[in-house]
Amino acid sequence: METYNKVWRAFFAFSLIAIAVQQFIYTGFRPVIMPPEPAFIGQSTFCMCVASILLILISIAIIAGINAHVVADYLGASLLLMLILFHIPYNIKHNLNNLGGWTDAFKMLALCGGTFIMATSLPTHKISGIDVVTEKLRPTGPYLFATTMIVFGIMHFVYPTFVATLVPAWIPFHLFWTYFAGVALIAAGAAIVLGKKVKLAATLLGIALFLWLILLHIPRAIADPHSGDGNEWTSVFEALGFSGIAFLIAGTCKPRKNETGQ
């Protein structure tokens, strides 16, 4: 199982590296990482460069297994802090009554959850110092990630016409797949939150996200690689990272007694 977990961690770490590289290419934060306000951070090239370098180094450390559980904990805590200090105030100010405007904030929430899930999946022999504090955040990982999946599922019902336009033209019954995907996201997220059939739900979620990566996101990125400063490619990397997170949940979950029959 650990062999597979290494692959899923690589999925997630590579997605973070790719997003960081994108920030260098377009000389600005990706919206999923940092909103444009406050301007002295969100629109600062220096802050972007520092954040991108750290993101790349941390991701490489995770892939290489260099104090991976520690850096994953710190990354998760840092992303959670950015969500609280920057994303939430920005969206309260600009998108209070617009659920769709909160998309990047919820993606950041999923990334936070992903880092804690990744830290949980990593072998550790000793926890000390400030890591004793950050380690306590690990159990929140699946809940943070699942919350985003549930909200994204709800968005399929709130904005069905828009979501239907994302379904490839060669696939029939766009609205049907829009609602089907919404139900699947909500069901998988709810199963993870409630601790019911978590391994099955997370595995199916990981497969669905990876299929959407192949069938939807990559073709859209190839067809339109430059709009929104490469936003379609950012979606590719996010989908790759989220699929890795879902598979990690499946690979690290511990079945409850009533699910094992013990």
For the segment 78-124, what is each residue's pLDDT rounded down to a tens digit?
999 999 999 999 999 999 999 999 999 999 999 999 999 988 887 66
Task: Read off the pLDDT of residues 18-76 as tens digits, 9 standing for 90 and up.
Answer: 999 999 999 999 999 999 999 999 999 999 999 999 999 999 999 888 888 888 888 99
pLDDT category, 261, cuts 50, 70, 90?
Answer: very low
pLDDT category, 1, cuts 50, 70, 90?
Answer: low
pLDDT category, 126, cuts 50, 70, 90?
Answer: low
Whole-model pTM: value is 0.91
Spell 222-257 as b/e; 16+ CB within 10 A means b.
eeeeeeeebbbbbbbbbbbbbbbbbbbbbbbbeeee
Each domain of the chain, given as residue ranges in start order, spans: 2-255
Q: Is the pLDDT score of 125 beyond 80?
A: no
Q: Which of 146, 107, 144 is nearest to 231 (CA)?
A: 107
> For 171, which DSSP code?
S
Task: Read off the pLDDT of residues 170-201 as tens digits, 9 standing for 90 and up.
Answer: 999 999 999 999 999 999 999 999 999 999 99
- The residue with greater pLDDT, 261 or 199, is 199
